[in-house]
Amino acid sequence: MTDRQFIVQALESALSDVLERDIAGLADDVRLFDDLHLDSTTMLELLMALEDTIDLVVDPETLDIEDFASVGTFTDFVLATRGGIAATA
């Protein structure tokens, strides 16, 4: 499994918890707000869930709305964020 597949799987699992319905088979172009109907509250819950499951540590000062546009941009964001942690670890 690639890092990317691992992140998407963690994302699907976290989304299933947050949205209380099964989320699977997410494609990169699925939009988080418009297609999955996340809102600002559930988006924050998603970050909280990922912090618990994959040790994602967010920096609230660098979060950007562009990161939350789609499954693809969000996966890029998680990879970059965790990569940064790994590099400094």
Partner 1 sequence: MTAPGTPPAPALLHEILDRAAELRPDRPALSQGELTLNYREFATSARRLAGRLRAAGVGRGDRVVAAAPSGPALAVLVYAASRLGAAYTLLHEQVHGAPLLHVLDDCEPRLLITEDAADRAAAGERAIAVLPLSELVEAAFPPPGSGPADPADPADLADPSGEPPASGVLAVDPVSLIYTSGTTALPKAVVSTHQQVLFAARAIQSVLGYRADDVVYCPLPLSFDYGLYQVHLSVLSGAHLWLGLPNEAGPLLLRRLAATGATVLPGVPSATEGLAWLLRRSANKLPALRLLTNTGAALSTETIAALRASLPNLRVQVMYGLTECKRATVMPPDGDLARPGSCGLPLPGTEVLAVDEDGAAVPPGEIGQLVVRGPHVMAGYWRRPELDAERFRRRDGLFPELWTGDYGWLDEDGFVYFSGRRDDLYKENGFRLSATEVEAAAHRVPGVVSAAVLPPEGRRPSVLAVVGRIEAAEALELMREQIEVYKIPRRCVVLDALPLSANGKVDRRRLAVLVAEVAA
Judge contact between 63 and 20, C-beta under 8 A. Answer: no
Q: How near is the Cβ of 56 to partner 1 at its closest, in Å? A: 11
- Integer angstrom CA distances of residue 55 from 14, 21, 26, 43, 85: 13, 23, 21, 17, 10
Closest to partner 1 by CB, 19 or 79: 19
Candidates 2, 55, 59, 86; binder of partner 1 (CB under 8 A) is 59
Q: What's the CA gap between 26 and 52, in Å, rounded? A: 21
Candidates 6, 10, 30, 33; binder of partner 1 (CB under 8 A) is 33
- Site residues (vs partner 1, CB under 8 A): 17-18, 20, 33, 39-45, 47-49, 57-61, 63, 65, 68
